[in-house]
Amino acid sequence: MMLEMSEGNFMTIVVLISLFVLWKLEIVATILNLKAFPRAVPPRLSDVMDQEKLDRAHAYSRVSAKFNIIQSTASLALLLTFWFCGGFAWLDGFARSFSDQGVVVGLIFLSLLFLGQSLFSLPFSIYDTFVIEQRFGFNKSTPAVFLIDRLKGLLLAAVIGLPLTAGILWIFINVPNAWLWAWAFVTVFQLVLTYLAPSLIMPLFNKFTPMPEGDLKNDIESLGQKCGFPLDEVFVMDGSKRSTKGNAFFTGLGKRKKIALFDTLMEKHSRKELLGVLAHEIGHFRCGHIKQRLMVGILQMAAIFFLLGMATDPHGQFARLLFDGFGVSSISPHVGLVLFVILLEPVSKLLGVLAHAWSRKHEFEADAYAAKMTGESQPLSEALKKLSADHLSHPTPSALRVWLDYSHPPLLQRLDALEKA
């Protein structure tokens, strides 16, 4: 049954305009970003990049940009087709044909949407991994590893996602002031998951081997003590199982922290460079960035659940407008959750601009901390340049792309700041 559009349906118009503006903005940002790509190697990068590598980075940016535009356009087309063909109402009715229990209906509805979205994204993920990343020498994943990762992801979604979703739906169906209790439930759930993830979830996808005794491990432990960082264990992660790209991170809550270095990172960087990278990661902890982001995330979640309560209130005008806009007659928490996420996407993009600006500020602060604690800025600068060159990153991204999406400052800005530090 086709969705009948009404000129007076304000919510339909708002959502449509928002989605199209967001889609168009992404295309404009992508085009400007490609135009900003330098034709010659920036002098600051001449020691890690030659013209041939710059041309490869340019080609990688072009191919990735074209792929992202195609994927975002296909996603928007699928959403609009499903929407205007009455897909949300049909799927809600289909889920209700199995049960009259609100939680069960909601789980069926959301699971089918999740599986449909997963199937839709699968060809794009395969092409990105085995064509684009393979072409530019990044992919190390085999079809077997790719398939196993997907199956593990679906299993985790069932084991973790279904109970979490069931709890949220039950609260919204049965509890007064549901948004408040749902927020508390999700917050506690996320904190527990964050605590357990390093030992229970991450090892399902990667192998974490204790770093062997030696000068590097001793230096890392000494750095942790110097920084007052409660380091518990140091691991090497088999990042080369899937990609040639390198990284490092720390995990854990409370007084016990674990540091993990990709094996690909250790292969390509000197000991001083690795210490600079780790000092940067420790800097996020010592500068209070982790706690700040955690608190802001919790407050953001409260605002989202408050608005979600409005979007699922069967007696509220906002919920009625939202459901009418998507052609669904019965107001319910499970449908409201999906419609609210669609409505929230453009708003989240705009709010993300502020979050990214804040994150870039944190990156500068962590860089300065690393330079201070290691006593020199050159090793971290060299590490950042090598990482950028190895990842074929854009050396001089456009201001609009940085403004919209960059959680880290552009490389040349970081190098300038490190020199001053």
pLDDT in tens, 287-302: 999 889 989 989 999 9
pLDDT at 257 over 80: no
Whether residue 327 is contained in a domain is answered as yes
Cα separation, 96 vs 93, in Å, equals 5
Kindly list the catalytic residues: 281, 367
Whether residue 43 is contained in a domain is answered as no
- CB-CB contact of 395 with 45 (8 Å): yes
pLDDT at 6 over 80: no
Cα separation, 367 vs 281, in Å, equals 9
Whether residue 282 is contained in a domain is answered as no
Query: H or E segment at 247?
Result: none
pLDDT at 371 over 90: yes
Please count the other Cβ atoms lying within 10 Å of the Cβ belonging to residue 384.
22
Q: Give the torsion through C-alpha atoms of 196, 199, 200, 204, to 10 deg.
A: 140
Cα separation, 19 vs 382, in Å, equals 41
Cα separation, 395 vs 411, in Å, equals 7
Whether residue 258 is contained in a domain is answered as no
pLDDT at 1 over 60: no
Per-residue confidence band for 408, with pLDDT thresholds at 50, 70 and 90: very high
Q: Which domain holds residue 20?
A: 10-37+48-204+287-420
Q: Which two tokens stand for residue 174?
A: 């049965």
Annotated binding site for Zn(2+): 280, 284, 363
DSSP 8-state assignment for residue 201: T
Whether residue 396 is contained in a domain is answered as yes
Whether residue 233 is contained in a domain is answered as no
The residue with tokens 């190697």 is 41
Domain count for the chain: 1
Q: What is the pLDDT of residue 263?
A: 85
| Mean pLDDT, range 256-261, rounded to an integer | 75
pLDDT at 253 over 70: no
pLDDT at 21 over 60: yes
Per-residue confidence band for 3, with pLDDT thresholds at 50, 70 and 90: very low
Strand positions, DSSP E, 184-315 = 208-210, 231-237, 248-251, 257-262
The residue with tokens 């400052």 is 409
Its pTM stands at 0.87
Q: Which two tokens stand for residue 41?
A: 């190697």
φ/ψ of 208, rounded to 5, equals: -110, 110
Whether residue 188 is contained in a domain is answered as yes
Give me the sign of the Cα torsion angle 249, 252, 255, 256. Answer: negative
Whether residue 251 is contained in a domain is answered as no
How much of the chain, in percent, has pLDDT values that exceed 90? 64
The residue with tokens 């300065």 is 368
